[in-house]
Amino acid sequence: MMGHQNEQRELMVAPVNIFSVIPQDHIVRKLNKVLDLSFVRKEVAGFYGQKGQEGVDPVVIMKMMLLLFWMIIKVSGN
């Protein structure tokens, strides 16, 4: 079953605001403003079942993949 993330869940006892530690000029903030990945849910909906535990929001997965790709490029120096 496809999940849909509405808000940041509390990960620890004290809530953590991820954006409070990301600099204003960081690439993650810039991408968050201009990149619309809402189409991803529609594209992958057929691959999710209707029963079972709710999965991770596919938009979150795509954002994580893009961030990983960006980090690999940054580390490799290309």
Flag whether 11 is in a domain: no
Q: Find, among 33, 46, 39, the residue nearest to 62 by Cα.
A: 39
Flag whether 69 is in a domain: yes
Which domain, by its residues, includes 52? 18-76
Flag whether 9 is in a domain: no
Flag whether 6 is in a domain: no
Count of the separate structural domains present in the chain: 1
Q: Find, among 57, 31, 53, 35, the residue nearest to 44 by Cα.
A: 57
Flag whether 67 is in a domain: yes
pLDDT digits (tens, 9 = 90+) for 51-67: 888 888 999 899 889 88
Give the single-character DSSP code of 49.
Answer: -
pLDDT for the residue numbered 36: 94
Does pTM top 0.85 for this prediction?
no
User: Which tokens hold the place of 62?
Assistant: 């795509």
Higher pLDDT, 5 or 52: 52
Flag whether 55 is in a domain: yes
The CB-side HSE value for 57 (13 A sphere, CA atoms) comes to: 13
